[in-house]
Structure 1
């Protein structure tokens, strides 16, 4: 098999070369997100990390947001594939599954950061084709997630399991920024009177998932 590596700055022409370049750009974006907020990362910064120009990056992604959308898909797929081993094996307590869900996401801050920026940042400055492709992948991955939920919580029907994935995303988008405050907010909430305003992501997200699951199970029982 031909070597798909190509020298720096040389345009990749074969499909496997383009895919390799795209993956390297995603790797660089992932590294940068571990060091700084997404809002501070530009295409120029990505190019600097790779030792190429901004123009070079644009050959493979239409915008910074396009890079992040693709990285979100990649990170979410890796997380879902890991859940088979990270979630309790059936039979198991539903609340334990929900807390394991929260804990597994808390251990993946880059994924959570990207997911939390989806409606306000990532779905802007990109074409309809890019958003459509993202959402189709998201639909496929959340369907897989719903199937995993149904395996662990058989009392929850397939439709409600998928609904739970929708509520879970909306909850994460709102909760993640509150659980990762700015230095100014950290200083302000150091006041003992404001202790109740501090948010610990894994604990609160676990409670949100458990409460949502309980509501869906109760509604399903009433509708039988």
Structure 2
């Protein structure tokens, strides 16, 4: 008998070791999962910047409108002068503030009636001072035929003709220590005592 037989008919081997299969190679880099794209922040920053500019523009417009309204109100009430009387240590002092039309300065002044009492009157504003001291006639000295009133004046710089100005008035008689009051004058013909906040009547 012919011993030739087909190869698939051969009896399998009794080898019990596990069958080895080759490990597949890793996929090429081009086939790997791509990294997620970066988020674009430029459009967001542009929108935020545009909103900030718009808001700033609205605020500026509102501030400009308010400034214009204030200017209009100031112009409507502008008088360019303010005057009030003060009584300090029994002495009446007339005070006045007047603003130049160009808005660069204001002149502050004070008057006191002439008498035979010894007194000191001083005014101060923005570092500028003027004062006058009077003395009664000495013994055996004839009094002045025409007593002269006290008149003091200082001029101070201003940013514009609507700027308030302050004046310190100091008065001292022969029997008292100097007493000082500070007044804030406004060009709408008003004056305020800075210590009390009280509005002072205008001198006409």
**TM class, shorter-length:** under 0.3
Higher helix share: 1
TM-score (norm 2): 0.21
Q: Which has the larger radius of gyration?
A: 2
TM-score (norm 1): 0.19
